[in-house]
Structures are given as structure tokens and as C-alpha cells.
Structure 1
Amino acid sequence: MLVSVGITQIQAISSVFQILPKPQHIEELKGKGISGTDLQFIVNQSSGEMPVLGPILNTLPQAEMQGKGVYLTITDKDVPESEEGYVLSVNEKGVVIAARSEAGLFYGCQTLEQVLEDSRDYNCPIPAMKITDFPSIAYRAVHLDTKHHLDRMEYYYAMMDKLARYKINAVIWELEDKLRYTRRPEIASPNAISKQEMQALCRYAKERNIDVSPLVQGLGHASFILKHHWELRENPKSDWELCPSNPETYDLLYDLYADALEAMPYGKYLHIGGDEITAIGIDKRCKDTGKTAFELQMYWLQNVCNYAKEKGRVPIFWDDMPLKYAGLWTTILSDMSGEELDKAWNTKKLDQAIELFPKDCIYMRWNYGDATKPAHMKLLNWYKEKGLQVMAATAASSGDSPFLPRNNTKAGFIQGFSRLVVENHLAGILATAWDDGSPHLETVWRGYIAQGEFGWNPTGRTIDEFMEAHGQREFGFKAGENRMDFLKELEEAFFFFDGALVESGRRNPAWGTTTFTLIDLPDQEKPGEWAEKYKEKIIQAEKESLRFEKIRKQLTDARKMARRNRYTLEVYEQNNYLQNYPVRLILALRDYDLATHEQQREEAQMKLAEVCSSFSSMRTRLEEVYSKTRFMEQPAGYIEDMNHHNHLSAKSQNSDWLFLYELPMVEKVQKWLNSKTIK
């Protein structure tokens, strides 16, 4: 029997048991609860197999015996209509998880695992309660982009376990050359994953209710293909676009699709890319068709969609090119509203071309910022009016932030778009994680987990509440202890790191790196001039030096107090040393420039030499930590793209791109120091 539950009682449960994603409904029941250690067994009373269990539940015998236990049952009575929904009831007799499907039982067990984890971590009983839970969004995916690097296979297996823990039920894997294609073996990188390895991983994911579908770039972003097949280039001087009017383009693409679908046999979708086309309709073959560039784009789309349907897959297409064709792109990205927006909004071109849009394709509406702006919401209404299927794409890590996602790992943007998906009944949501700047995936995980949280329950928590829950779930930091404060500070610190050592230049991976000019070095004959020229950098470096030390101490404490996932904290720790290196170098140059007598200058010069020599050890340690899960360089024989996508992480075949400004600056300072004689 339910008691009348005040908000404070529910808050009391939630303050200890930080279930993530937050369940839709939690009710306190009359009577006693249980201790987590009281549970003696787990049995599945349905005819199906036992779902994959977490590490705590998996220690329980799977046969009924004396004592309190966990009972799993499949029923259509008093359970959510969702196939992934469940009811979890706790009383003094034990735990019952009821659902209408095996997926629901699986997620009920994932929730119980977290409850038991908190009960164990904080030595507290589990109250009598009833959780009624179901996802607000049916398809909740994350993006795995391996165009520039691969992680070890065991890391991908661990990834599936963690995604399942947070009720993510899909992965869209952007393959490029990292699958060992058998029909077109020349396309594959020497270290590509075999189809058999991928099949095994996908089977492992399927057992955890995760759908893995491939993304094979097609019309544009085709450098991984066209560096081998010049004959298919639209522009002979560029390896970016395939020619859409060449029949051999489709022969090749269909071979790649076939291999990808065989490698990922359980997926529902085939993502065919199709974004950011810069130049089609320029070669003779295309001109002879008499079609416009947009018509050629849609001709390609229709062909590849037909292929996907023949193979039993639903095609997904990035939607930016039709919007650019219609002249709506800048409007959609703008902050316009009201009359200003109404005047700028013109869908005439799109309306006239609507027959060119395949109706059985899903149009992936990507927006990696605030998707709740009026113009963007207006676009979603246009899609709805035209009866086109739409899926959202937000970002756990977009390419504009090398080394570390910013803005609370994009959590606010993820929540905003998740709300729109529910309100507009979209086909699902994908949290992208672009490899343009190749951040270590451990730094992306909070964004992935945010997608788990808000894809399941978009309004359950505020961003601050989510970050508290994330710290408790991932590391065992009790909510309210503020042990994750270092992460917000670290995100801020990297903004200075991005350009600390240059006067001009950009290492932004999404918008393209540029040529750069390093800062000057002090002139011994003009003491103080350098410090005056770079006064603002020095002031900020002094602040960042204090911030570094604060982060360092917080991370040291966090590693000591963490109950799990210390490796993630190791990665953050090495990123902290990385962002601090330009700070140390700038402050050492300042000290040299401001030295007023010979002995002081000699000491400053020795200190500067020490900072330069420490670069190697800093880099070595970072690579040691990173390489516990990922490969740090391209394999022997790897052929570089011509265009490089101008991505930061494509600037070198090893990890030099991580230190784009630091390496030449250290070399510059060392040459300068070697030209001097320490007396």
C-alpha cells in the first residue's frame, strides 16, 4: 500500500540513491526495506534467459533458496507500455522487477545494481519503495568516431558495459578506414578492425540491449576512399567528394556498405553521411547530366537510400546540404526571433524541391549548440509539416574543443535537444563525439552519460544535479561533496592553453587549423620589453598557474577518495599537466626578461632550460596514460588523406599534433638558449 509521499521524503531517497538516469517515478512504500547484503539469490521467473547482470548482482546464485532474493518476471500487468520500461519494488521480503520484455528486465537490473552500489558505498539500508520507469525517447544513441584513431578492443567492450549501465541503447559507429573491408581491401587502414572482431563486439552489445549501426561516409568526407581511387573524384585536385554521376561510385559504396552491414549484423540503421559537400556538378560527367548540384546530391541520396532499404536498413542522412541549398543555414544558426525571424524565414526552395526528398529516409537534424532557439524549432515544424522523419544529433564532444569538451561536457545542450525530441516526437537522438581533435574518450564520457540521463528523462534533473549524480555514479563521490569541481576548472583552463604560445593561429579542429606565429623571445639588451608586450598573457598565466595547482590538489584528493574509475581521473590529471605547460614556459620567459642582474639572469636561464627539458617527461607520461586504452600513432604504411579534413588530429601520424604549438616553441627556446653561454 502506498503512503502519502511528501517531496522531502522523495528527496531523502534521492539524496543517497543517485540513480542515473533518474527514474520517471519513485514512490516510498509502507513498511521496512532491506539491507543490500540481505539479498541471497536472483531468479528469473519468466521463460527467458537471465539478463546480463552487473558485477554485484552477478555474484548472487541464480536459484531460489532461503532468505531474501530478487525476482524477475515478465508480465503485461501494471507495468509501463514501453518495451524498455520496468517496475522495481523493494520491501522487507526482497526485490521484484517486473517488465513486459527482456529489455525492461535488463534495465530494471541496471537500476538495482546502482541502488545496491550506493547501499554498499554508504552503508545504508534500501528503503521500501517502488520505481516505475521507462524512457522518454526510444532510440538513445551515441556516436563513436574512429576516423583518426583506434582504441584497444577491450576498451570497446568496456564501453558497451558502461553505455548499458546508463541505459544508452544504440551506437552509430563512424568507420571510415577502420574496418577491414574484404570487398575493397585497399580502403582499410593496416590496423583496421576485422569483420569477425566487429561481429563479436556487436553481439556483446546486443546482449546488453545496444544496437550498433555503421556510418560510412559517402558523397563528401570521402578522403579515406579517394586517396586510393582518384578516378572517382569530382575534383581531381581534391579527395573530398565522390562523383555522384559516375556508376562506379555506387559500385564502390555498395561494397563498403555490404561489408559494414555484415560486420554490424544486428543494427537497424545505415548512416550514409552526405554532409558538407563543397563542389559537385563541376566535372564533365556531372555537367552532361544537366542537373544542378542540389539535384545531383539528391540523386545520390535516392540511390543509396534504395540500397539501404533493399538490405533491410533504414537510411540516415545528415540534413545540412538541403538547408544550405535553400539559403536557410545562417538563419537556422542565428538567434533571430519574432518579426525578424518571420521576415528571414523562406522555405520556398525546399517546398519546391520536396519531391526530391526520399520519404523513407531519416533526416538527422544536427545542432551541437542550443537547439531550442526559435529558428531551429521553426525548422523542426517544417519537417513535421512535410511528413519527413527526423532524428536529432546533439554533441557530447564537438570538434571545436581540442583535448577536452567544454560547457559542462555539453550537458545543457544535450538536455535541451532531448526535450525537443520528446515534444516533437522525433525518431530518436544521437550524441556525436567527433574525432577532429581526438580527445581521449575518457574526457567525453560525461557527455555520453548526459545523453543517457536526458535521453531517458529530459526533465528529471537540472544540470547541476546531473553533475552531482555523475560524480557519485562514476567515482563514488557522494553528492554534495563537490569533488568534481576540478572538471569545470579544467575546462576553463584549456581556453588559455588553446592559444597561449602564439600571436596568431588556430588549432581548433572543427573549423580547421591555420598557420600560426609563435610568440617572440626576450631581448637581453631590452629587459622588460617582452614582459610589457605580453602583459595580458602573463597576467592570465599567473591566474592559470594558481588554477593548475588548485586542480592538481583536487585531483589528488579525488583519486584517493574514488571508489571506481580512477583511470578517468588519471587522464584528467595528465590533461592538467598538458594545459599547464605553456603557463610554465611563459612565466619562465617572464622571469628571464625581468632579471635585473647577471646572477638573477643566469638562474632564470637555468630555470627556463629546466622547463624546456621537462617537456619530454610530461609528454612521455601523458602518452603512457593515454596508451593504456588507445593507439597513439598510425600504423606503418598508413596513407594520409590529401585534404586532412584540416583536422588537428590529422596533422601528424604520431601524437605530435597534441603539441602543435608546444613542440616548435620548445625547439625555438632551446635553440635560443644554446646560442647563449651560461657564465
Structure 2
Amino acid sequence: MKYALTALFCWLFTSPVFAQTAAEPISIIPQPVKVVQLPGSFVLQENTVIVAGSQPAVLSVASFLQQRLVKATGYPVKVGAHGPASVINLVLNSQADALIGPEGYYLSVTPKGATITANEPAGLFYGAQTLLQLFPEEIESDLVKSHVKWQAPAVTITDYPRFPWRGLMLDVARHFFTKDEVKAYIDRMARYKYNVFHWHLTDDSGWRVEIKSLPNLTQKGAWNVPKVGKFGTFSASMPDEPRTQGGFYTQEDIKEVVRYAQERFVNVLPEIDVPGHSMAAVASYPELSCTADAVNYQVYSGEAGFMNWVGGGVILASVDNTLCPANENVYNFLDKVFGELSTLFPFEYIHVGGDECAKNFWAKSDSIKALMQRENLKTMQEVQSYFEKRVVKIVESKGKKVIGWDEILEGGLAPGAAVMAWRGDKAAIEATKMQHDVVMSPTAYSYLDYMQGDAIVEPVIYASLRLNKAYQFDPVPAGADEKYIKGGQANLWTEQVYNFRQVQYMIWPRALAIAESVWSPKNKKNWGNFISRVEHHFNRFDQANVKYSRSMYDPIFSAKKEANGQISIQLATEIEGLEIYYTFDNTFPDRFYPKYTAPLTPPKDATTLKVITYRDQEPVGRMITMPVREMETRAGKR
């Protein structure tokens, strides 16, 4: 017994995953490579000084940390060359430490202070983010919290990322989000060590970046008809309806956002989605189309029947939303676009889209037929490949590299282009074998526009992605050449996302799962421990007034039809330790109602099943009303 108690005591103070006390939880996301908790804690004082030397990049990190500390504590934290007993030291290695690389860091917290050591300023920044996560959750507040004891547990941390590309995408084309909202998005993702902000700037519903040589793109292409409901099912827009929904970013806006991101060591990847998804561009400049009727086109407002997926990867459009590969005006247009874009975005890559290109109008075009004959092209995929190769040359002429969705592989891919694999592992494996760099962004794990709970309580979309599934993301598919996998990212498409609060709801906490998948060592991932840390970060979100989803607490419904014709309803939970209470009598259950222990058979005349989840005698999930008829439909009973 004595030996067991001694072993338990040692484990509590050395475990990198579970080492925590009730007062000082170690709940860092993403999980560091190594954490060792030590006795004691560092208490922030009013005279705390951040010692940062004189290098501008280090001073920038110090200023960032200072602002974060001052905002919530109200303490007059200073940045200086030296300090009193209470100090936070930021130290750049004079000689690079190969273990931690350019983005890694060492963090040492003792009762006397904290020291972050790194090879590069990026590592200092990530170490600062980790240090902030060690302080109480109120550190996230925009208001001074005078009652809090600002202490961080004594620890030593060694940390560095698994992948160099850790991305989060925001679609601002379907629905527009302001410059300040975009900056808030970047600020929040940087807290979790994301380093690529993928900015989806153009699509059928809007062109969001000012191109000064092509003013129609924002004068006309940035605006559509305001509609509320389910995007993609709206009624037809009338020619005289006001087009007042939308917006765009001026080039000065772009520069401001890029600077803001750079201060947080986030690269901004702009996407111009071509040749498909280009209705906003075609409506602005009809001469870019293969179709004569394009002079009558308007920016897409979410009307029904615009594009149809007919199986086998074939997409049919009701109107021609593509740029014409046989039209030299298109390449002159793109030369102007990418020319101006390359001066605004310092990141080495430009994303050129390439996904979901409906080719049915190309098949009817005499100019496309002539192009195919002239260039000896046999298929429409080869037509798109011809287009993509010319786009690569244009982008490279501006000093940039190309990355595109995995459709750019079809028909052959230009050398030097990188692939963002969204349709699964096959394209990624193929691309790595062709020695193309790959960023993994598979729908099954990283599409954050998917429902994260049951369709009965979520904005309905065609697929689901629960937190548990997102946490299973591994950016290296079996069979791929790992040296060509640059990393991974999550994407938020915004057809059904109308405001920034909903952006937050869809992103968090699933973006925490992706962050851990692209930063932390694979062998450090542990679902149960991750959930305990997520719950701690829920409190931090509350302090920051950030909306998030609590769908992980909701029950999972399934049903099957029994041999006797009745249905059997099964309930499960995504996380352990929850109890489910239910009723069929239209009243609202609490923990004094029947507890779910086995599959349920609805009473003969029951119309609704109401359920709620509890933990430790407290409700944690939503009260969900599930129609029995819906369960019958899911069971296949008609």
C-alpha cells in the first residue's frame, strides 16, 4: 500500500497529460510534446516585467503578451531590458536547437517567474500562448477581473509542431464578414497555434477583394439579393430586386488584415476560385464566359437548382458559372487579378480553387471544341488541366506558388503545384507519388460546416461531423509519401452561416480537435483527456464571450425496425459519464424521470420523445424533442 501511494504521488506530479490540481489545471490545447508539473506556482504581480531585449521581432511578441495580461488583470505590466523579481523572460537561442525547430519552444515556469526560449520569434509567440493557457480562465476576459489570483502552475514544457501547415479556412464569399470579424477569427485561431488563414475570397455569391484594374468585380460582383432561410433552396430573384447584401475588402483592408495576421505569426492564403464557382466574376465581366447568354447573368443569391450533383463526380449547372478556358480574355483577366493579389499577400502560395467545375456548358461550346482540336485534348478533364497549367504559369510569373483543390490533378498537374486534398485519401496519395506537396483537408474529418449534432436541433446540411470524428483526423493517409504531406486544415463554408456568432458556433470546439491533430505528436492524442481539456476551454470561451457548440453533450439517436413492425430507438453519448433521461408524455424530463438503460419502444400513440443528458446531477445537454415519426422514418418504417 505504501509503495502504491508513493507511485500515485509521483505520477500526479510528472504525468504530461493528467498532471493537474483542482486549483491549477493543466489544460493546454493543443497538447504539448512534453509537460512536467513541478511543486509551486508563479504568481503574477503588479510590478511584473516582460524582459525581451531589443530585437524588434521579440519586442513584438512581448507587446502582444503584455496587452493580453494587462487587459484582464489591470496590472501595469511593462516590457523592458531587465526587471524585478517578478519577470517573464523571452529568449532567442544564439544557436539553433534542432529539436524544437523554427516554431517550437521551451517554457519554464517557477515561483520566481517564467522563461520562454525559442529559435525564432514564432516559437516565442507559441510559448506565450501556452503560458496564457496556464493562467486562470479569466485571462480571456475583456474586463478587468480584480478578484482573481493570477497564478500559473510551475512546469517545464518542451513543445514543437508535428506539421508546418496548420490551417483554418473561412468562406467570406457565400456570406460576407467584416474586416474586424476576420481579425477576430485570426486572433482566436492563433491562440491554438494555427498558422495559415485560408481566405476564400471569391465564389458564385460574391467577389470580396478589390482589384483596381477590374472595378466591376466589386461594384457588381460583391452584391446579391438578401435572402434568409436555407441557402440553395431560395426562390428565384426578380430582375428589379435590390442587390444590397454583400460587401468587399479594399486593398487597404487587405493590408491591415495581413499585418494583423503577421503579428500573430499567421500566413494569409488568398483563394480565387476558378474556373468553376465563378458566377460573381462572369456576372461582372460576361466576356469571360463561353456562353453568349452570360450578358444576362447576375451574382448568385442562393436560388434553388443552380448546380446539381448527378453522381460519379459529375456536376451539371443550370447556368454557366465557369470561366472559359478557350477565351484569351480569361487569361488576361487572371493576369491582372493575380498581379494585384501578389502585391497584397506576402505568403508564398495563392490558392486557385479548381473544385466542382461544371463542364456541361463547355461540352456545347464551339470555342472549347476548337481548343480541344488545336491542343489535342480528349476530355473535359484535360480541358480543365490545360486551364490550370496556364494559371500556374501566370501565378508563378508573379513570384508565387500555386495550391488548389484536388480536382486540379485531373488531366495532369503542372510541376510545382501543391494539392489541397478534400475528397479523401486517394487524391492525396496520388499527388505525393507524383512528388507534389499536399495539404490534407478531408470532408470526413475537417469540414466544419457539417452538422455537429442531430439534424433535429442543428441547421440542416447534407452531412454530419461530430467532435469525436474530427479528433480522429490524421493528416498522413496510409500509403502516402509522408515527406510530401505539409500538414492539414479545417474549412468553414458559409452557405448556411449567416452571422459571425454562428461562425464561432460552427468552429468551436471542432477546431480544437483539428489543432491538436496538426500540432501534437500522434501518440499524445487521447480522447478522454482531450474532452476534459475542452471543457476547461469552454470556460475560457465563456470569459471571452465566444459562442461555441455543446453538441458533444447531446445524445446520439438511432432507430431500427423490429420483426414485429415496431421500432427500437437507441440512444448513445459521444463522451463518457453522461446519463440520459427521457419521456414520451410531452413533458420535459429531468433527472427524476426514467433513465435510459436499454433501447426504447415508443408507446402506441406517443408522438414525441424528449431527452436530456445529465452529469453529476446537473443538466449538460440540450432538451431535445424528437418526433416519433422522424424515428420511424430513420428506421425505414413507412
Q: Deviations over 1:39-71 (max 9, x none)?
A: 722111362324022622675211333222111
Equivalence map 1:165-184=2 (5 Å) = 165-176=191-202, 177-184=207-214
Residue aligning to 1:70: 88
2:507 paired residue number = 445
Q: Does 1:20 align with 2:21?
A: no
CA contact (8 A) 1:412 1:463 kept: no
Partner of 2:176: 150
Please give the secondary structure, in 1, of the residue aligned with 2:355: coil
| 1:97 match | 116
Instruction: Indicate whether 1:393 and 2:441 are aligned.
Output: yes
Distance (whole Å) between structure 1 residues aligned to residue 212 and residue 439 of structure 2: 31
Alignment CA distance shift 1:86-1:193 (3 Å):
same
Corresponding position of 1:41:
49
Which secondary structure does the structure 1 equivalent of 2:486 belong to?
coil
Q: 1:192 maps to which residue?
A: 248
User: Structure 1, residues 564-603: CA drift from partner, whole Å, max 9, x if none?
Assistant: xxxxxxxxxxxx79x97x97999xxxxxxxxxxxxxxxxx
* Cα separation, partners in 2 of 1:7 and 1:315, compared to 1, 3 Å: farther
* Superposition map of 1:603-618 within 5 A: none
Cα deviation for residue 254 of structure 1 reads 2.6
Indicate the residue corresponding to 2:526 in structure 1.
462
Decide whether aligned partners of structure 1 residues 101 and 57 sit closer, same or farther in structure 2, where only a CA change above 3 A counts. farther
Q: Once the two structures are aligned, what percentage of the paired residues are identical? A: 21
Mapped pair 1:286 → 2:368: yes
Task: Tell me which moved more, 387-396 or 83-92.
Answer: 387-396
1:320–1:253: structure 2 CA closer, same or farther, 3 Å change rule?
Answer: same
Q: Pick from 133, 147, 162: which aligns with 2:188?
A: 162
| Residue matched to 2:312 | none
Deviations 1:143-188 (A, max 9, x none): 1101221223322222221111111111111111122332222122
Q: 108, 115, 127: which one pairs with 2:127?
A: 108
Partner residue in 2 for 1:472: 536
1:472 and 1:39 mapped to 2: Cα distance? Answer: 29
The separation in 2 between residues aligned to 1:88 and 1:485, in whole angstroms, is 31
Partner of 1:250: 331
Answer 1 or 2: which has greater helix percent. 1
Counterpart selection for 2:68 from 52, 55, 80? 55
Shift of 1:275: 1.3
Name 2:551's counterpart in structure 1: 487
The residue type equivalent to 2:516 in the other structure is E
What secondary structure is seen at the aligned counterpart in 1 of 2:211? coil
Unaligned runs of at least 5 residues, structure 2: 1-6, 140-146, 224-246, 294-318, 452-457, 543-547, 560-600, 631-638
Cα 1:212–1:431 change in 2 (3 A) is: same
Instruction: Show CA shifts across 1:404-442 (max 9, x none).
Output: 788564553454233549982302212111123226201
**Letter of the 1:158 counterpart:** A
CA distance in 1, matches of 2:391, 2:263: 30
SS of the residue corresponding to residue 125 of structure 2 reads helix
Indicate how the Cα distance of structure 1 residues 223 and 89 shifts in structure 2: closer, same or farther if over 3 A, else same: same
CA contact (8 A) 1:214 1:261 kept: no
Q: Partner of 2:42: helix, strand, or coil?
A: coil
Q: Which has the higher strand share?
A: 2
CA distance in 2, matches of 1:36, 1:214: 40
Pairing 1:279-318 to 2, within 5 Å after superposition: 279=359, 280-289=362-371, 290=373, 291-292=377-378, 293-318=380-405
* Stretch deviating more after TM superposition (155-164 or 49-58): 49-58
Describe the shift of the 1:231–1:67 C-alpha distance in structure 2 as closer, same or farther (beyond 3 A): same
Whether the aligned pair in 2 keeps the contact of 1:277 and 1:321 (CA below 8 Å) is no
User: d(CA) in 2 for partners of 1:318 and 1:485?
Assistant: 28
Once residues 538 and 183 of structure 1 are traced to their aligned partners in structure 2, the CA distance between those partners, rounded to angstroms, is 69
- Paired position in structure 2 for 1:424: 482
Q: Distance in 2 between matches of 1:408 and 1:6?
A: 39
- 1:276 paired with 2:350, answer no
Deviations 1:531-555 (Å, cap 9, x if unpaired)?
A: xxxx9999896224x44999xx957
Distance in 1 (CA, whole Å) between partners of 2:460 and 2:525 is: 24
2 CA distance for matches of 1:539 and 1:193?
Answer: 57
| 1:202 is aligned to 2:250 | no
Aligned CA RMSD, in angstroms, stands at 4.0
Equivalent residue number for residue 117 of structure 1: 136
Task: Give yes or no for contact 1:40–1:61 (8 Å, CA) kept in 2.
Answer: yes
What's the CA shift string for 1:84-143, capped at 9, x where partnerless?
Answer: 100001223211110011111111111101112359799695443210100001111111
Aligned counterparts of 2:264 and 2:279: Cα–Cα separation in 1:
34
Q: Distance in 2 between matches of 1:168 and 1:199?
A: 20
Q: Conserved in 1, the CA contact under 8 Å of 2:288 and 2:323?
A: yes
1:132 aligns with 2:141: no
2: CA distance between counterparts of 1:36 and 1:106? Answer: 19
Q: Give the SS at the match of 1:128.
A: strand
Are the counterparts in 1 of residues 450 and 464 from structure 2 also a CA contact under 8 Å?
no
Which letter maps to 2:211?
Y
Counterpart residue identity of residue 68, structure 2: P
CA 1:554–1:308: 2 relative to 1, 3 Å: farther
Indicate the larger mover: 535-544 or 356-365.
535-544
Shift of 1:318: 1.1
CA–CA distance in structure 2, aligned partners of residues 141 and 95 of structure 1: 29
Does the aligned pair in 1 maintain the 2:200–2:272 contact within 8 Å? yes
| 1:542 corresponding residue in structure 2 | 608
Structure 1: 5+ residue stretches without partners? 324-352, 479-483, 496-534, 559-575, 587-679
Counterpart code for 1:155: E
Letter in 1 for 2:434: K
Q: Is the 8 A contact 1:270 1:314 kept in 2?
A: yes
TM-score normalized by structure 2? 0.66
d(CA) in 2 for partners of 1:85 and 1:461?
18
